[in-house]
Amino acid sequence: MPRKESPTAAPRRRGRPRASGKTDTRRRILDAAREQFATYGYAATTIRAIAAAAGVDPALVHHFYGAKADLFTASMQLPEDFVRSVSHLLLDTSQSAVGERLTRFFLNLWENSDTRRQLRMTVSSGLTDGQATTALREFVTAEILNPVVVASDRQDAALRLPLAVSHLIGLAMGRYILEIEPLAHADVDTLVAWVAPTIEHYLTGESPTR
Amino acid sequence: MPRKESPTAAPRRRGRPRASGKTDTRRRILDAAREQFATYGYAATTIRAIAAAAGVDPALVHHFYGAKADLFTASMQLPEDFVRSVSHLLLDTSQSAVGERLTRFFLNLWENSDTRRQLRMTVSSGLTDGQATTALREFVTAEILNPVVVASDRQDAALRLPLAVSHLIGLAMGRYILEIEPLAHADVDTLVAWVAPTIEHYLTGESPTR
């Protein structure tokens, strides 16, 4: 139950110290989470260790941020429902147009200027800082790739998803970071029209014959 | 005529000072080039300015490194014939399998451990350092994208190439930098079989209907 108001939590207007105390605790937990993930990676970090580093009870960490995956996305300031949204899109290949829905979801994340700033930072640190790279890889693998691969009945599922994800990451690099023209100023619909069929193919199409 | 021996250059065995002086001059030119590209970007930097910063005659810069594009790739320790190889591959869409040849060329660059180290650095700085991003974008646009677009008779050529390039960059991120499995350990032929048809489609296929 992330971010739900505790029944005993005082409304902010009751007084500055109490409200600020709660805000401080949340921030202390987030800082501890960033520190732990950066130092030990995603897989080896536990809610318990984060709570200890923040000097709070593990139950409070759960109360504020939910599961470890949610705490990780919160520590990267990504949308709260990021993992569930992506997983839902990737798992729901029964419907057609999964390529279009995934491509559009991904581009829309970057079109939002708040999310874009954070995604740029995540991508930059994930590509340049060895520890951040490890944490990002472990997170993506454990929370997004593996569950989808396990749920899929395709033998080559394990390669399909990284191909699709890599293509989308590259698109974001070219459009939002390197800002190569005319990619940087093409409208989203045009990009979706070009890229979605590729993503659809990687996720659900025929395997290549060699 | 890059890297050709000058007729008056003393063979290395004749004596250390002369040989080392030549090596020093080459290195001084490269250092000056890196500095100028990083400060002013690719477009605004001239061979003349690099020569002045290195304290040598512009003719000597040409003699050692050839054209500005070659000096830029040398300053990034990329293969000497990088621009010509890529341009040749991209322009030669008359033959089929341009997607396969381009994908294989790109992957083989990264498979070489020396080039990979340099490409990682180039990509990292190009994505995190604003000045390096500008220089890299200007270089790719002026020396690779624009000439191919100009040479193409396709109306939507300007978007096709960045789509292909972005996809390949994303593939390199996923395989060589984030090292997402099983992408990181898939063999090159398997990757080419999956990705080459996409690159081929972006470069030469039908435009999407919207």
ipTM: 0.79
- Minimum Cα–Cα distance from A200: chain B residue: B198
What does A99-163 look like in DSSP terms, one character per residue? HHHHHHHHHHHHHSHHHHHHHHHHHHHHHH-HHHHHHHHHHIIIIIIHHHHHH---TTHHHHHHH
pLDDT at residue B62, rounded to an integer = 94
From the CB of residue A125, how many other CB atoms can be counted at a distance below 10 Å? 17
Domains and CATH numbers, chain A: 22-75 (1.10.10.60), 82-204 (1.10.357.10)
Q: Percent of chain B scored above 70 by pLDDT?
A: 88
pLDDT at residue B54, rounded to an integer = 96
CA–CA dist A64, B132 (Å, integer)? 40
What's the residue count for chain B?
Answer: 210
- Minimum Cα–Cα distance from B133: chain A residue: A178
- Hey, are the CB atoms on B174 and A166 less than 8 Å from each other? yes
CA–CA dist B167, A175 (Å, integer)? 11
Across the range A68-81, mean pLDDT stands at 86
Q: Percent of chain B scored above 90 by pLDDT?
A: 35
Q: How do residues A81-122 score in pLDDT, each as one tens digit?
A: 888 888 888 777 666 688 898 899 889 989 988 888 888 877
CA–CA dist B36, B38 (Å, integer)? 5
- Minimum Cα–Cα distance from B161: chain A residue: A183
Least confident of A15-24, A41-50, A68-77, B135-144: A15-24
CA–CA dist B171, A169 (Å, integer)? 8
The chain-wide mean pLDDT, for chain A, equals 83
- Which is more confident, A200 or B154? A200
Across the range A181-190, mean pLDDT stands at 93
* Rounded (10°) angle between helices A16-40 and A47-54: 130
What is the model's pTM? 0.80
pLDDT at residue A81, rounded to an integer = 82
- Which is more confident, A54 or B130? A54
- Minimum Cα–Cα distance from B193: chain A residue: A208
Residue among A127, A183, A209 minimizing CB distance to B162: A183
Across the range B84-110, mean pLDDT stands at 81
**CA angle centred on A172, ends A170 and A176, rounded to 5°:** 135
- Hey, are the CB atoms on A194 and B163 less than 8 Å from each other? yes
Q: Which residues contact B42 (CB under 8 A, 6 or more apart)?
A: B68, B72, B134, B135, B136, B138, B139, B142
The pLDDT of residue A9 is above 90: no
Contacts of B170 in chain A (CB under 8 A): 166-171, 173
Indicate the pLDDT class of residue B124, thresholds 50, 70 and 90.
confident
Distance from CA of A100 to the nearest CA of B (A): 12
> Token pair for residue A81?
């429902």
The pLDDT of residue B10 is above 60: no
Q: How do residues B23-76 score in pLDDT, each as one tens digit?
A: 899 999 999 999 998 888 899 999 999 999 999 999 999 999 999 999 998 988
- Which is more confident, A13 or B199? B199
Across the range B168-187, mean pLDDT stands at 91
Q: Is the CB of residue A121 less than 8 Å away from at least one CB of chain B?
A: no
Burial code (b: 16+ CB inside 10 Å, e: under 16) for A7-38 equals eeeeeeeeeeeeeeebeebbeebbebbbebbb
pLDDT at residue A36, rounded to an integer = 92
pLDDT at residue B20, rounded to an integer = 60
* Rounded (10°) angle between helices B188-204 and B98-111: 130
CA–CA dist B46, A68 (Å, integer)? 52
Mean pLDDT: which of A64-73, A95-104, A129-138, B46-55 is highest? B46-55
Interface test with A, best of B121, B167, B204 (most A CBs within 10 A): B167
CA–CA dist B97, B100 (Å, integer)? 5
CA atoms within 13 A on the CB side of B150: 8
| H or E stretch at A63 | helix A58-65
Across the range B144-169, mean pLDDT stands at 83
Q: Is the CB of residue A97 less than 8 Å away from at least one CB of chain B?
A: no
Q: Which residues contact B138 (CB under 8 A, 6 or more apart)?
A: B41, B42, B43
- Which is more confident, B66 or B19? B66
- φ, ψ dihedrals at A43, nearest 5°: -60, -45
Indicate the pLDDT class of residue B95, thresholds 50, 70 and 90.
low
* Nearest CA among A72, A58, A65, A73 for reference residue A4: A65
Size of interface A-B (CB pairs under 8 A): 136
